[in-house]
Structure 1
């Protein structure tokens, strides 16, 4: 049995990485998916590829920091499918700079995408879902639980996502909306964000970081996006029906030691 049959889903940051893997899995589980991303060319290409496989995929460009863009995305859902059942706030970014080198511009840009975007999406999602319920999955990170010297803005943004989601989840439950809001907290995943971040480092520093991860992660490897997508499916489906305001950590054992 497909676990998301006829469920209407919106996924941000869906042109690649975790977002794209999640969109593909949801579609194969019977969902109708609006893929969104700031990268219109890549997003359209992926949605076209998925439609050619007979899957119910649609793409719309979305700048998650823009309230008007969110309103347009929700209007698209109303016109196309009428409802929203699952929202995945996945879009994110990371800029490498320690606290001494981080600029205010870098700080604000990171929080705008990673935290403001989640706030705007969650608020719009609640408005669409409160009459019939649904699931909102906010992608945080183990970096919202621990601190890493090279990503203080990312740490702050993901920590904010975790606490914000708890507040919103408690509100929805108390209001009787039947909306579940949970955090998915991946560790290090083999995605373009990780690859691009390493590319921006001097070669010796990039290699040292990769060696460090190989030793630091008990399972000895980065996660694959598809592994994270399967956890998304759990949070999106009725399998997690009694779970809200919680963190689901997938980190290969990183936080276990």
Structure 2
């Protein structure tokens, strides 16, 4: 059955993890484009402020305080959407949290808790959405990561959860297609995004966590999500740098391992001590209407690659993929460039 998605201005959108970062930017962007919103997170004060902001500016939004690791909370989000708006058209599973540190330092309890949020919360949301949308059609958008394909050293459990998200999302998509359900199922795979993500993570490292370069603005992800609300897409990688990492995993995995071990592991650490470990978004609500994080470098406000692959033209999409491949080849060859005694390329 063909999937016909509504125009964004005619949609009701459910969005988890709405109180900071990607979720916050997406909520504001969707509201400006006329969508009605059902916003969920654990941070009630932030949600209330966000809904007041949207409603005062002529939009329409309600909120539900919910911990997505609890299936009953996710069901309440669905019920609120149906009671207020008669249902929903798009469900965005965005809530998530990370852990930094070597595996031997991370308690198994924390690993399980992360999976309850990142994986099981997404499963609960996806199944609620699928059950509601089977008869009417709509979109399920799951936030994976480039770490759905690549493993970031010192973020192994987060990477494992995003691998699981990809496997679940692909399987759900195939089953719904097999049943002829008019539902678009999309996996969004952001690269490093300048949000409070490192600050909300539980950090077992000796220094504060930060993103390794390149980092992109959360707006780049929000635009991709908004696109997929009304345009069926199988998956969208956000950031050409992220596509390059995936290419390395596919083509030169051994080289990527060495890069992770020797360079990336250092790039993930800031040059100042960490916050108290009790200050984290794994154990408690951390949303505070903060869009950006602590990335110290130049944040890329746009992604030509992602804009191209969501442009709709097959020729443009092909050019973007080829361009990413050329960039990857140049990147891979860069360490081998010989330098003369003055330090310049020979």
TM-score range, shorter chain: 0.7 to 0.9
**Contact 1:140 1:185 (C-alpha < 8 Å) held by counterparts:** yes
Deviation at 1:3, TM superposition (A): 3.9
- Once residues 80 and 200 of structure 1 are traced to their aligned partners in structure 2, the CA distance between those partners, rounded to angstroms, is 42
One of 142, 156, 162 as aligned partner of 1:158: 162
> Which SS does the other structure have where 2:9 is aligned?
coil
- Once residues 187 and 225 of structure 1 are traced to their aligned partners in structure 2, the CA distance between those partners, rounded to angstroms, is 10
State the partner residue of 1:224. 217
> Which SS does the other structure have where 2:38 is aligned?
strand
Deviation at 1:69, TM superposition (A): 1.0
> Which SS does the other structure have where 2:228 is aligned?
helix
State the partner residue of 2:253. none
**Contact 1:162 1:247 (C-alpha < 8 Å) held by counterparts:** no
One of 201, 226, 232 as aligned partner of 1:233: 226
Deviation at 1:76, TM superposition (A): 0.9
One of 74, 89, 102 as aligned partner of 1:98: 102
The TM-score with structure 2 as length reference comes to 0.66
Residue 144 of structure 1 pairs with residue 148 of structure 2: yes
Residue 131 of structure 1 pairs with residue 135 of structure 2: yes
Deviation at 1:197, TM superposition (A): 4.3
State the partner residue of 2:241. 253
Residue 109 of structure 1 pairs with residue 113 of structure 2: yes
Structure showing greater Rg? 2
**Contact 2:105 2:204 (C-alpha < 8 Å) held by counterparts:** no
State the partner residue of 1:29. 33
- Once residues 218 and 200 of structure 2 are traced to their aligned partners in structure 1, the CA distance between those partners, rounded to angstroms, is 16
**Contact 1:8 1:84 (C-alpha < 8 Å) held by counterparts:** yes
* 1:8 to 1:97, Cα distance in 2 relative to 1, 3 A: same
**Cα deviation 1:9-50 (Å, max 9, x = unaligned):** 100000111001111111122211001101111111111111
> Which SS does the other structure have where 1:234 is aligned?
helix
One of 9, 12, 30 as aligned partner of 1:8: 12
Larger deviation: 84-93 or 142-151? 142-151
State the partner residue of 2:52. 48
Which consecutive aligned stretches of 4+ in structure 1 deviate over 2 angstroms post-superposition?
Answer: 194-203
**Contact 1:223 1:252 (C-alpha < 8 Å) held by counterparts:** no
Deviation at 1:64, TM superposition (A): 0.5
- Once residues 3 and 77 of structure 1 are traced to their aligned partners in structure 2, the CA distance between those partners, rounded to angstroms, is 18
Residue 67 of structure 1 pairs with residue 55 of structure 2: no
State the partner residue of 1:118. 122
Residue 87 of structure 1 pairs with residue 91 of structure 2: yes
Deviation at 1:164, TM superposition (A): 0.3
Could you list the runs of 5+ residues in structure 1 that have no partner in the other structure?
none
> Which SS does the other structure have where 2:98 is aligned?
coil
* 1:198 to 1:82, Cα distance in 2 relative to 1, 3 A: closer
Could you list the runs of 5+ residues in structure 2 that have no partner in the other structure?
1-5, 245-327, 329-346
